[in-house]
Structure 1
Amino acid sequence: MLDMPNYSVRTMLAREHDADPTLPDDRREVSVLSVLQLMAPVSVIGFSKCRVGTANDGGYVMLDDLKPVDVAYSLGIGSDVSWDLDMAQRGVDIYQYDHTVADTPVSHPRFRHFRVGITHDDSLGPNLKRLDTILRQNGHAQRHDMVLKIDIEGHEWDALESLDDKTLGQFRQIVAEFHGLQLLDMPLFRQRAHRLFSRLREQFEVIHVHGNNFSGTRDLDGIPVPDCIEISFVRKDQYSFAPSVELFPGPLDAANDSSKPDLALGTFQFDAPAPRHAPDAMPGQDGAPSLARSLAESEGQARSTGVALPAYLVAAGHHEIERIAASYRPVAPSSDPYRVSESLLDRAIGLSAGYMGAAATSVENAEVSGQTWLSAMEHLRTRMRDPAWHCLESEATTASVTRLASLLHFHATWSMHPLFPAMMASAAEAGFSLDGFAPFAAAHCLSMLGNGTYFQPPTGPAARIGCFDIATGPENVATVHITCLDFPPERRKNPRDMVADRIEAACGRINARHPGLVVLSAGAAPAELDTVVADALRNALNNQARKNQGLMAVALLALRLQPTRDPREVHLRYGFLPIQNQHFRPRTPTP
């Protein structure tokens, strides 16, 4: 239901009060961030949620507290009345309004269909009415226990904005589809959206959000915003609330367009942290001196100058930063080994199921030719039928176990991060290969060594996350670039040229004004290559160091399976070797 009439697009910006000069400055000049903060969801204490309606377009997630309700208004039905049917089967009378259909596509004794459209002005036409007018006509003007569902293709802005607070307060729950959020890049529409959501939040709390993937997202002020979003509200006077750490989409959600992945919204909380003061927060391995400290001591460079953060990050209040910073840090997974079994395979496939697309059957593993994510899992399932099998029995089995453990390790480390759905989608885009997990493994290593790590939402159709930032000052970051090393047998004896080529290519995005690090991900390369690769790494760094003084360091990242006494158990370990650039000289910006 996304064919928005041109009328709606034009008039979203054309209301006279949108440019009201009597509004105070803090209402006339609003940011994208301030609008989105009004949509941030909370949790309802003591209640769960349920899905009402079909599994895809036409169904909505609501609070599972519908027993007190016996009247619901369904505004905009089109050809899908699955929500209406579900509510009717719960004993609720459904008042349906849609001037574009002659009759309801499915009949039910509790349906009352009216070929009337919803608008902000009763005088626009005989088949267009305001919602408060309809409530009076139906004898519902004094009720305060109803439910409202509204999906009227962009006219929701007019219809809801025209209602007074008393009318809005007649509904216990409201589920609404808001169209045209791409217009938030226009000041007049931002004012209008801020005004409407501010009014709604006076009486209601948001408990659920879901992006409609029939439209997609738009990057606004560095934030990926759905063009169309479904929001579920509950009235404040009925419930108690707590902060939400839920990730969206959740288990009750389903893609509106089942042929495409759902839109990843993270926690949909927008008080993002600024970087920590971390000039000494990148220690070396095994007690080696801090890279950042060594750099500072070499030339008195106490802080590097990096890419300035978006204004909404820098401007975030200190207490808000501290309040949510923990959710941006990776969690150290359990040290228990992974015991490969049918149930572990089922768990991994279940975790990946919501994100699997063509990449799961087409992206091959670098270690084993022809091995995809699904074929790797099937290989393990087949091998487990042999009583003599073990995790490290062959190259194919070892690679399959590494991918299995990598997914589980990744999930345990990052599942509470606000951008986890985008991270998972990025890994899926890479076919859940070791290359796909490399940015998050590198960020995990740097974070566990004390660095603040910051991911940006992916942009573009590929949806891949190939880099991240670390804090190098109170308002500065340096970008960590990931490049992957494949080690075919013929290159394993002398990888020097390949390592040099990878570092040189990655350094094309690094300079004195935009400092950065390069992490070479060797995947599950054999451990005996570590010394050879480390030597090649040092040699390549020496060649790059003087000519690229913005290069802070290079690091080698490798994954290791460590067996236990049980041949079907392994530990997953990261090998991480950072080597600093002694010639690092960031350029200080001119005031």
Structure 2
Amino acid sequence: MKKIIKRSLVSFLEKKGFLMARVTERKKIIELIESLRPINVQNELIRLGPKGDGGYLVPDDLENIEACFSPGVDKISEFELECLKRGMKIFLADKSVEKPNFNLPEDKFDFIKMFVGCTTNDDFITMDDWVSIKCQSDNSDLLLQMDIEGSEYNSLINMSNHLMNRFRIMVIEFHSLQDLWNPHFFNLNQTVFDKILQTHICVHIHPNNCCGIYSRYGIEIPRVAEFTFLRKDRVTSKTYANRFPHHLDYDNTDNEPISLPKIWYRNI
């Protein structure tokens, strides 16, 4: 009887022009979160970049990585400088700035004034086109550090499997995660994460305290979070990480500190 009444009420409201918001099933969101539970691997996490925004945790497995590709240039580029010091070439891309914010000879880095996205034109370039233009080799290991304000979903879903496999380590800031409750956004998000998890495992999550945590139906979701992934062939041992924040984590902003909710790293 309750179901009949509910259906009748929904039908009545829709006929009156009040569209009922559909939400993603709670079970699906929990399953997605569980698939992303961070793993401790044999290489300890180290921090590249400053103690704040622009610094990220990565596995100490950087030897013989040819280059760091970093779409999204911010005011701070110390992460890329750390990669340069470790022998990597550094490639940066961002249409919204004139150049990266560091004092280096031009032969020490490569910058293109373009956005990274799902197509290549006058303003945008795909990850595959960018790497193929800049990298002479076709099979060397690379590192990806991506912070492109929501365009990460289209850029990653468009990336070829071959290029995905070339990235030994990927550090990606994902935005608008509270919209996982929107079924359309959830489907896109799940497709992106499923693609990544075919070849990589999550080794760290750090919520950006710029935007807080969204809570619904007992599930806490950071609105913005930095995820670190390691390619599966680099993993020889693993256990679930169970202590957050990591001692090398720092707040991104002066806003109220937040920690990764327990549902993201423990069975609740």
- Pick the TM interval, shorter chain: 0.7 to 0.9
- Whole-angstrom distance in 2 between the partners of 1:206 and 1:158: 20
Aligned CA distance change for structure 1 residues 245 and 130 (closer, same or farther; 3 Å): closer
Give runs of aligned pairs for residues 55-454 of structure 1, distance below 5 A.
55-109=51-105, 110-122=108-120, 125-140=121-136, 142-266=138-262, 268-269=264-265, 271-272=267-268
Q: How far is 1:108 from its partner?
A: 2.3
Answer yes or no: is 1:43 the counterpart of 2:40: yes
Task: Tell me if structure 1 keeps the 8 A contact 2:142–2:166.
Answer: yes
- Whole-angstrom distance in 1 between the partners of 2:77 and 2:145: 11
Q: How far is 1:267 from its partner?
A: 7.0
Task: Tell me if structure 2 keeps the 8 A contact 1:30–1:191.
Answer: no
Aligned CA distance change for structure 1 residues 243 and 185 (closer, same or farther; 3 Å): same
Q: How far is 1:70 from its partner?
A: 2.8
Q: How far is 1:175 from its partner?
A: 0.3
- Whole-angstrom distance in 1 between the partners of 2:164 and 2:114: 20
Q: How far is 1:141 from its partner?
A: 6.2
Q: Which has the larger radius of gyration?
A: 1
- Whole-angstrom distance in 2 between the partners of 1:34 and 1:187: 14
Deviations 1:151-181 (A, max 9, x none): 0000000100111211111110000000010
- Whole-angstrom distance in 2 between the partners of 1:267 and 1:92: 36
- Whole-angstrom distance in 2 between the partners of 1:239 and 1:140: 27
- Output the amino acid matched with 2:132: R
Aligned CA distance change for structure 1 residues 29 and 227 (closer, same or farther; 3 Å): closer
User: 1:527 corresponds to which residue?
Assistant: none
Aligned CA distance change for structure 1 residues 267 and 252 (closer, same or farther; 3 Å): farther
User: 1:407 corresponds to which residue?
Assistant: none
What is the SS of the residue equivalent to 1:214?
A: coil
User: 2:28 corresponds to which residue?
Assistant: 31
Task: Tell me if structure 2 keeps the 8 A contact 1:247–1:267.
Answer: no
Task: Tell me if structure 1 keeps the 8 A contact 2:205–2:260.
Answer: no
Which fold has the larger relative contact order, with Cα–Cα distance below 8 Å and residues 6 or more apart in sequence? Answer: 2
What is the SS of the residue equivalent to 2:179?
A: helix
CA RMSD of aligned residues (A): 1.9
- Whole-angstrom distance in 1 between the partners of 2:216 and 2:226: 18
- Output the amino acid matched with 2:117: T
Aligned CA distance change for structure 1 residues 249 and 140 (closer, same or farther; 3 Å): farther
- Output the amino acid matched with 1:116: M
Q: How far is 1:63 from its partner?
A: 0.4
- Whole-angstrom distance in 2 between the partners of 1:245 and 1:193: 23
Q: How far is 1:266 from its partner?
A: 3.3
User: 1:330 corresponds to which residue?
Assistant: none
- Provide structure 2 residue ranges, at least 5 long, that are not aligned to the other structure: 1-24
What is the SS of the residue equivalent to 2:264?
A: coil
Identical aligned residues as a percent: 25
TM-score by length of 1: 0.39
- Output the amino acid matched with 1:178: F
User: 2:7 corresponds to which residue?
Assistant: none
Aligned CA distance change for structure 1 residues 266 and 117 (closer, same or farther; 3 Å): same
Aligned CA distance change for structure 1 residues 29 and 167 (closer, same or farther; 3 Å): farther
Aligned CA distance change for structure 1 residues 264 and 202 (closer, same or farther; 3 Å): closer
Deviations 1:507-530 (A, max 9, x none): xxxxxxxxxxxxxxxxxxxxxxxx
- Output the amino acid matched with 1:142: D
- Whole-angstrom distance in 2 between the partners of 1:53 and 1:267: 28
- Whole-angstrom distance in 2 between the partners of 1:232 and 1:245: 13
Deviations 1:73-130 (A, max 9, x none): 01101211011111112221100011110111113242211111101011xx402110
Larger strand percent: 2
User: 1:482 corresponds to which residue?
Assistant: none
Moved beyond 4 Å, runs of 4+: none
User: 1:404 corresponds to which residue?
Assistant: none
- Whole-angstrom distance in 2 between the partners of 1:238 and 1:229: 24
Deviations 1:252-286 (A, max 9, x none): 100001453233433723543xxxxxxxxxxxxxx
What is the SS of the residue equivalent to 1:190?
A: helix
- Whole-angstrom distance in 1 between the partners of 2:33 and 2:136: 32
- Output the amino acid matched with 1:38: S
Number of aligned positions between the proteins: 242
